[in-house]
Amino acid sequence: MEKIKKILEEKGIKPSIQRIKIFECLMCDGDHPTAKDIYEIIFKEIPTLSKTTIYNTVKLFTDKGILKPVRIREGEVRYDIESDSHPHFRCNKCGKVFDLEKNLLIKEKKEIDGHLIEEKCVCYLGVCRNCRRKREH
């Protein structure tokens, strides 16, 4: 609790009760929660909570670089407190999202950490060659 306060203050974020709870929720939940998940968890403690606050806060955290949106499935934006980019594994049955080892390179493995791999999805983001030529930065 005090730890979270410090982390937020270091990033120039005022540690309101809502923000602390949301950060706590992101730390504890091992499964990369959606905005809805976060809302439902914290609503039990703060019944006046607004969904707008969740969206405002994850936007703020993202802008400050302490949170990263993870988009794996349609209509599902999940949030990841880990700052370093790392691979994910999403279960097609229960929907849970697991963290995988950073720098992991699976070639033809069919299994990892006990999870059965059925599909792989890789995307790189950046600036394409056309936009680089245009030098519009």
Please report whether residue 61 would count as binding Mn ion according to CB under 5 A. Answer: no
**Minimum Å distance from CB 131 to a second copy?**
4
CA 41, distance to chain mean position in Å, is 16
CB neighbour list of residue 53: distance below 8 Å, 6 or more residues apart: 18
**Angle, helix 2-10 to helix 17-28, in steps of 10 degrees:** 110
48/85 with CB nearer DNA: 48
**Angle, helix 17-28 to helix 35-43, in steps of 10 degrees:** 120
Binding mask of the shown chain, residues 33 to 72, with x at each position contacting a second copy by CB under 8 A: ------------------------------------x-xx
CA distance 45 to 65: 26
Please report whether residue 46 would count as binding DNA according to CB under 7 A. Answer: yes
CA distance 90 to 73: 9
- Among the listed residues 69, 99, 100, 112, the single contact to Mn ion using CB under 5 A: 99
71/96 with CB nearer Zn ion: 96
Please report whether residue 67 would count as binding DNA according to CB under 7 A. Answer: no
80 secondary structure, DSSP code: E
Task: Tell which positions 89-128 bind a second copy, by CB under 8 A.
Answer: 89-94, 96, 98, 100, 105-107, 112-128
Applying CB under 5 A, the residues found at the interface with Mn ion are 80, 82, 99
